[in-house]
């Protein structure tokens, strides 16, 4: 009887620790910007990738200046307030001089 009780306690503590560790990992994955969490599986379906790209475009600020389209993607507002994740510039022509001037303006504080 004592052996069964000891085995029962051992199994219950083992399962309780695994439940707590699963919750910790789940909480870490929910927090943005923490690299210790397990990364999500990479998507290989083209339609899923395209839909995720369209979601990012909805969040981006787009500006159309003559032949340029500038997309500014902000970071997550919870962790990085006021910071920019990426800037994408699309152009029908290649105005290198104007692009260099624009880059210099971005580098200034």
CA distance 106 to 98: 12
pLDDT at 4 over 80: yes
The first and second tokens of residue 28, run together, are: 């870490």
pLDDT (tens digit per residue) in 46-104: 555 556 555 655 666 766 777 667 777 766 656 666 676 677 776 666 666 777 777 77
51 φ/ψ angles, rounded to the nearest 5 degrees = -70, -35
Domain spans of the chain, in order of start: 1-31, 35-108
Greater confidence (18 vs 37) lies with: 18
pLDDT (tens digit per residue) in 7-20: 877 777 766 555 55
The answer to whether 34 touches 28, Cβ cutoff 8 Å, is: yes
Greater confidence (43 vs 75) lies with: 75
pTM, 2 dp: 0.32
Q: Which residues contact 80 (CB under 8 A, 6 or more apart)?
A: 33
Cα atoms in the 13 Å half-sphere on the side-chain side of 45: 5
Q: What's the pLDDT score for residue 37?
A: 47
């Amino acid at each position: 009887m004592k052996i069964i009780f000891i085995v029962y306690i051992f199994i219950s503590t083992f399962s309780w620790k695994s439940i707590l560790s699963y919750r910790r990992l789940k909480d870490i994955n929910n927090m943005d910007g923490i690299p210790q969490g397990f990364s999500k599986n990479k998507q290989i379906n083209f339609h899923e990738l395209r839909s995720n790209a369209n979601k990012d475009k909805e969040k981006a600020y787009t500006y159309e200046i003559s032949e340029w389209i500038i997309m500014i993607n902000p970071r997550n507002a919870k962790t990085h307030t006021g910071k920019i994740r990426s800037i994408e510039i699309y152009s029908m022509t290649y105005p290198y001089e104007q692009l260099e001037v624009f880059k210099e303006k971005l580098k200034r504080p």
